[in-house]
Chain A
């Protein structure tokens, strides 16, 4: 009894629980994530930034197993840097997404992490790619993680094509707040990253600064 209850931290895999999302607008993308990392019932990191840079203007949002997601992001970041040096120009978002997809698909059975890749490149502007289960698809916006189930209704009704950068930031903040309010595995603070031609801009919204909804 002592073994199983107290050594659960050792055998429980560290998952990022999570709510992540990314949305395109004309001129760039906005990515958002919560900050909770759990191992079983215990929260091991309440301020983790799940928006990981793959390159200057390409970020990915991590979800699923923390170890798998971090390892994948590290591998892709290395491969992308090499690719970018070989090409002599900034990499395309679709290249980054393809590299993520290649690893996801090849090790489909072993890995349990989902990365949403989003960024800006010269050719096609802001793009969001989903790479769940080893496929690759470009979408105007994407949500992921355990908290995403609770907000499909909200995003499907509140999304309008052609939103401005500020509207997108507002939309992402609201979505994350709603998800964190309902999903036990999501919480903490909200991290937002805006990527445009000029570069990337990171922002943190602390727990008490999140918008309040009817139940508070």
Chain B
């Protein structure tokens, strides 16, 4: 059955036609031997755990651009609301912007309802936005917080599915971190125990996954208190050089010296004062 589809009627919703075009262009480009600049990904190990009085969120601090470390100390635990924080894995720009947009909308929502925000609300907003973009926003998030109904922890995937669990891990190092959780997680842990568990889970990701590294950041959220500990553990301190390899002055002998002064003409002088107030 032949069908002519020259002019399709404009229907509501997004069109992802350009993404297909981009993929074709990228394939052609690669054939010629060049590669398009890679988006900065956070590689990453992020995780969260619910304990007796709240939640503990943890993250590593390495941001990669292909195989190069672009940022050795980036912050992956983002503020959503005074009682809710969110760790982000995937494309760095996407996680940053998505959490900022939802944080802003949530503040307006809280002002409208006159109540502190709930974690379930943040979860709904995030999942509905990510679903709308059909996975093209590469943001994988671990959302945690304490609200009037207690402590809650969610994992949110780029396509918009969410899971509500007592412990979650995300990112390239998620398998290493999950192994630690599955071994040592207990219900109703104390704060110290929970912090140690999260620290160890992130450390497992840092040392066993190439995409994760540097330090361990922690965020402890309880009913009346937030502890944003950055860094909690400098797991990868830069070593101190034990010797100097500089050559002493006079190592190379000087045979002749010839000084030629350059004649410069002052054409224009512009002075701009800095605002140091």
Q: Which residues on A are within 8 Å of B, measured CB to CB?
A: 2-3, 6-7, 9-10, 13-14, 37, 39, 42, 44-45, 47-48, 65-71, 110
User: What is the CB-to-nearest-CB distance from A169 to chain B, in angstroms, rounded to a whole number?
Assistant: 26
Residue of B nearest to A42 (CB): B175
Question: Do residues A67 and B160 form an inter-chain contact, with CB atoms below 8 A?
Answer: yes
Q: Which residues of B contact A44 (CB under 8 A)?
A: 155, 157, 163
Q: With A6-B211, A9-B140, A13-B135 in contact, is A70–B90 under 8 Å at CB?
A: no
User: What is the CB-to-nearest-CB distance from B172 to chain A, in angstroms, rounded to a whole number?
Assistant: 4
Residue of A nearest to B212 (CB): A6
User: What is the CB-to-nearest-CB distance from B208 to chain A, in angstroms, rounded to a whole number?
Assistant: 11
Question: Do residues A6 and B138 form an inter-chain contact, with CB atoms below 8 A?
Answer: no
Question: Do residues A48 and B163 form an inter-chain contact, with CB atoms below 8 A?
Answer: yes
Question: Do residues A10 and B90 form an inter-chain contact, with CB atoms below 8 A?
Answer: yes
Question: Do residues B90 and A6 form an inter-chain contact, with CB atoms below 8 A?
Answer: no
Q: Which residues of A contact B90 (CB under 8 A)?
A: 10
Query: For this complex, into which size category does the number of interface residues on chain B fall?
Result: 20 to 34
A-B interface contact total, Cβ < 8 Å: 66
13 contacts between A and B (CB under 8 A): A6-B211, A7-B211, A9-B170, A10-B138, A10-B140, A10-B158, A13-B159, A14-B161, A44-B155, A45-B163, A67-B159, A70-B160, A71-B131
Determine whether B217 belongs to the interface, using a CB cutoff of 8 Å to chain A. no
Question: Do residues B161 and A67 form an inter-chain contact, with CB atoms below 8 A?
Answer: yes
Q: Which residues of B contact A65 (CB under 8 A)?
A: 159, 161
Question: Do residues B161 and A2 form an inter-chain contact, with CB atoms below 8 A?
Answer: no
Q: Which residues of B contact A42 (CB under 8 A)?
A: 174-175
Question: Do residues B210 and A71 form an inter-chain contact, with CB atoms below 8 A?
Answer: no
Q: Which residues of B contact A2 (CB under 8 A)?
A: 67, 210-211
Question: Do residues A14 and B210 form an inter-chain contact, with CB atoms below 8 A?
Answer: no
Residue of B nearest to A43 (CB): B178
Question: Do residues A7 and B157 form an inter-chain contact, with CB atoms below 8 A?
Answer: no
User: What is the CB-to-nearest-CB distance from B96 to chain A, in angstroms, rounded to a whole number?
Assistant: 16
Determine whether B108 belongs to the interface, using a CB cutoff of 8 Å to chain A. no
Q: Which residues of B contact A13 (CB under 8 A)?
A: 135, 159
Q: Which residues of A contact B41 (CB under 8 A)?
A: 7, 10
Give bound CA distance, A66 to B164, whole Å. Answer: 13
Q: Which residues of chain B from 221 to 237 have a CB within 8 Å of any chain A CB? A: none
User: What is the CB-to-nearest-CB distance from A9 to chain B, in angstroms, rounded to a whole number?
Assistant: 7
Q: Which residues of B contact A110 (CB under 8 A)?
A: 134
Q: Which residues of B contact A69 (CB under 8 A)?
A: 161
Q: Which residues of B contact A68 (CB under 8 A)?
A: 159
Give bound CA distance, A189 to B78, whole Å. Answer: 34
Residue of A nearest to B211 (CB): A6
Give bound CA distance, A7 to B171, whole Å. Answer: 8
**Contact mask B128-139 → A, CB, 8 Å, 1/0?**
101100110010
Q: Which residues of chain B from 13 to 68 have a CB within 8 Å of any chain A CB? A: 38, 41, 43, 66-67
Question: Do residues B159 and A14 form an inter-chain contact, with CB atoms below 8 A?
Answer: yes
User: What is the CB-to-nearest-CB distance from A105 to chain B, in angstroms, rounded to a whole number?
Assistant: 15
User: What is the CB-to-nearest-CB distance from A194 to chain B, in angstroms, rounded to a whole number?
Assistant: 23
Residue of A nearest to B124 (CB): A74
User: What is the CB-to-nearest-CB distance from A111 to chain B, in angstroms, rounded to a whole number?
Assistant: 10
Q: Which residues of B contact A39 (CB under 8 A)?
A: 157
Give bound CA distance, A45 to B154, whole Å. Answer: 11
Q: Which residues of A contact B174 (CB under 8 A)?
A: 9, 42
Q: Which residues of A contact B127 (CB under 8 A)?
A: 67, 70-71
Give bound CA distance, A14 to B140, whole Å. Answer: 11
Q: Which residues of chain B from 137 to 164 have a CB within 8 Å of any chain A CB? A: 138, 140, 155, 157-163
Q: Which residues of A contact B138 (CB under 8 A)?
A: 10
Question: Do residues A70 and B210 form an inter-chain contact, with CB atoms below 8 A?
Answer: no
Q: Which residues of A contact B158 (CB under 8 A)?
A: 10
Contact of B165 among A9, A45, A67 (CB under 8 A): A45
